[in-house]
Structure 1
Amino acid sequence: MTSKAFRIGGDLEVRRLGFGAMHLPTEAGPARESSLAVARRAVELGVTLIDTAYLYGGGANEELLAEALYPYPDGLVITTKVGVARSGAQGEWRLDGRPAVLRTQVEQALRRLRVERIELLQLHRIDPETPFADQLGTLRDMRAEGKIGRIGLSEVTVAELDQARGIVDVASVQNRYNVLEREHEPVLTACEHAGIAFVPWRPVAAGASGAESAIAAVASEAGATPTQVALSWLLSRSPVMVPIPGTARVDHLEENLAAEKLHLTPAQYATLDRLHQPT
C-alpha cells in the first residue's frame, strides 16, 4: 500500500500530497479573497506541505500565505525558495545566488512568513555566476544560526546533487517531473537511493494529461479525472515522491487531493509507465 506520509530530511513528516501556491493571485480584491480561501481549504483538507518562493510576486505569495494561515497549525510546513532576484541590468529577474542576496531573501522570508525558522528552504536555481559552494555555504551558515531547518535544491542534475551533498545535507529536490515529462528520472533514482524527498513541480503536465489518450482512457476506466490519474501515478511511482499540485480554485484543489484515494490496477499503472515524451 502506498504510504501517505514522508519524512523530509528523515524527521520532518508531511503528507505526501502537498499544495503549490504559485498560481494564487495576490492582488487586492475578489481574486485575493479567493486565494485566501483556497489556502485555508487546503489546510482544512489535511495538507501539511505548502510550496512558495520569493520569485512568486517578489514575496507577495509568502505574505498571502501568512495572511491566510498564521498562526500556523501544528504540523504545517511552508517551504519557500530563494536565489532569483530582480538584479538584471534593467531590473529584470535573473538567477542570483550571491551570498548577500540569499541571506537577505531568507531574512525577508522569515519576516513575511512570520516565523523564526524556515523548516525547508530550497535554492530555486543554481546561479552559474556564483561558486556553488558559496551559495550552499550561505544556506549552511544560516542553518547553523537556526534560521533554516533543512536545505533543498531545485532543477539540478545528478552531478550537481552529488556535488551539493559534499557540502550540505540535502533534504529535497524540486525538479520538473510528471507522467509525460521524465527527463529527471536519473535524479529521482538518486533521491530514492539517498532517501531525499523528490518534489515534482508541474506534476500534472500543465493540463496536458487530459489530452493524452492513454491517460484519458485510464481515467474513464477508473471513474476518475486525468489529473487524478496523473497524481496517483506519481504517488505510486516512488516512495520519496511528494507532489505539490497547484490551483487557484477550491474545486480543483479538492479534485487533486482526492487522487490520494485513487488506486489503479497494475495494468493501468503499466499503461501509464509506458508513456513518455522525450525532450
Structure 2
Amino acid sequence: MTATSSPSPRLTPSGVPHAGGTGTLGDRTVSRIGYGAMQLERPHTDRDTAIALLRRAVELGADHIDTAQFYGDGFVNGLIRDAFRPEDGVTVVSKVGADPNPGGTLPLRPAQRPEQLRASVEDNLGSLGLDRIPVVNLRRLDVGPGLRAEGDQVVDIDDQLAVMTALRDEGKIGAIGLSGVTLDGLRRALPADIVCVQNAYSLVARGDEEMLRLCAEEGIAWVPFFPLGGAFPGLPKVTGEPAVVAVALSLGRTPAQVGLAWLLHHTPNVLLIPGTADAAHLEANMAVGAIELDEAALAALAAVESRSVDIALG
C-alpha cells in the first residue's frame, strides 16, 4: 500500500479547506499541516490566549493536533480539552514513553515500562476528557536527539507493543504510532499495524531516508519533529542554510516556510505538525501548503548537506 496525499478541495469538519491538502493517518483523512502543541506549555499564565491559538489553527485548516500528557504535566491536554468540541472533528494524537520530571536537570524522565505506558494512556484520557484517543505514539528512546533509556527503562519493543495493542483492543486508543524508532524497530512493529512514525527529520537531517521509503510503501504517515532542525545546541538549523535563504528570497517567503514546504514536496506521506505559541508564526506555518518549489529550487535544496541529529541528553 502506498501513502498518498493531494491538494484536495474537500473541507475539514469545521468547513474550511485542509491546510496543505489532505493526507492519511491510519483510517482518517487529515490536513497535511496540523499543529504541534508542545510550545503551549510555556504561556501558563495566559490560558485564554493559548485556547484561542488552538482554535485559530483549526480555523486555518488544521484538523489534527499533536500533544502529550508530559507537556506541562497535563496542562496542554487541558487546553485541548477546553478548546474543541466533538463537532470540530479534530484528530488528537498523543504520545507515551516519558513522564514529567519537575525539578530535574531535564524536564522529562523515561517511562518505557509497559505498566508506565498504560498509566500514561490513562492520564492522557483523563486530561483530554476523552474515552478514546484517536492515535497514540509510543515514544521509543532508541535514537536522538533527547533522552536515552537506561537500566530497567531499556524495554523490548515487543513488550511495549503488547500493551499498546491491548489498549487498542480495549478501545482506549484508536491506532498506534511510533516515535524515536530505528528502522529495525519499525520493521519489527509492522505487524501491530503502525499508522505513523515521528522521528527527528528535516532538510539538514535526512538520515532516515530508508525508513521514510518504507513508511511510504506501507501507507504509514511520516510526521517529522524538529522539522527545521536546531532543537538542541550543536544541531544544524534549516533556516541558516544559504540555499534555503536564497530560495526564500526568490519566492518572497521566509526560510522557515521554505524548510517546511520542502518536507511537503519531498514525499506525499509527510504530515507536518509545526508548533508555535505565536499567532503570526501560526499563520505563516499554515500557509506553506501554497508554496510551489520548482525543479531548480528543489535541486538547490537537495544539495544541502545532511548531518546527524543523534545527540543524547541525560
Using the alignment, how far apart are the partners of 2:228 and 2:162 within structure 1? Answer: 34
> Which residue number corresponds to residue 16 of structure 2?
none
8 Å Cα contact 1:34/1:248 also seen in 2: no
8 Å Cα contact 2:30/2:64 also seen in 1: yes
The answer on 1:23 being equivalent to 2:47 is no
> Which residue number corresponds to residue 226 of structure 1?
255
TM-aligned CA distance change 1:87 to 1:29, over 3 Å = closer
8 Å Cα contact 1:122/1:151 also seen in 2: yes
> Structure 2 residue aligned with 1:38, among 33, 40, 53?
53
Using the alignment, how far apart are the partners of 1:242 and 1:277 within structure 2? Answer: 20
8 Å Cα contact 2:202/2:229 also seen in 1: yes
Q: Which runs of 4+ in 1 moved over 3 A?
A: 25-28, 90-93
Q: What fraction of aligned residue pairs are identical, expressed as a percent?
A: 39
> Which residue number corresponds to residue 285 of structure 2?
256
TM-aligned CA distance change 1:156 to 1:134, over 3 Å = same
Alignment map for 1:236-255 (pairs within 5 Å): 236-255=265-284
> Structure 2 residue aligned with 1:78, among 80, 92, 102?
92
Structure 1, gaps ≥5 residues long: none
Using the alignment, how far apart are the partners of 1:248 and 1:131 within structure 2? Answer: 36
Query: CA shift at 1:218, angstroms?
Result: 0.3
Structure 2, gaps ≥5 residues long: 8-20, 142-148, 232-236, 309-314
Equivalent residue pairs, number: 274
The answer on 1:197 being equivalent to 2:221 is yes
Using the alignment, how far apart are the partners of 1:28 and 1:122 within structure 2? Answer: 25
The answer on 1:67 being equivalent to 2:91 is no
Q: Which amino acid aligns with 1:172?
A: C
Task: Please give the TM-score of this superposition, normalised by the length of structure 1.
Answer: 0.91
Task: Please give the TM-score of this superposition, normalised by the length of structure 2.
Answer: 0.82
The answer on 1:152 being equivalent to 2:177 is yes
Query: CA shift at 1:26, angstroms?
Result: 5.2
The answer on 1:181 being equivalent to 2:195 is no
Query: CA shift at 1:13, angstroms?
Result: 0.9
Query: CA shift at 1:28, angstroms?
Result: 4.1
The CA RMSD over aligned residues, in Å, is 2.1
8 Å Cα contact 1:2/1:236 also seen in 2: no
The Cα offsets for residues 196-222 of structure 1, whole Å up to 9 and x where unpaired, read as: 000000112248333211101101111
8 Å Cα contact 1:209/1:216 also seen in 2: no
> Structure 2 residue aligned with 1:108, among 123, 128, 134?
123
8 Å Cα contact 1:198/1:242 also seen in 2: yes
Using the alignment, how far apart are the partners of 2:35 and 2:100 within structure 1? Answer: 26
8 Å Cα contact 2:37/2:65 also seen in 1: yes
> Structure 2 residue aligned with 1:5, among 8, 22, 26?
22
Q: Which amino acid aligns with 2:25?
A: I
TM-aligned CA distance change 1:172 to 1:265, over 3 Å = same
Range with bigger deviation, 120-129 or 225-234 = 120-129
Using the alignment, how far apart are the partners of 1:160 and 1:129 within structure 2? Answer: 14
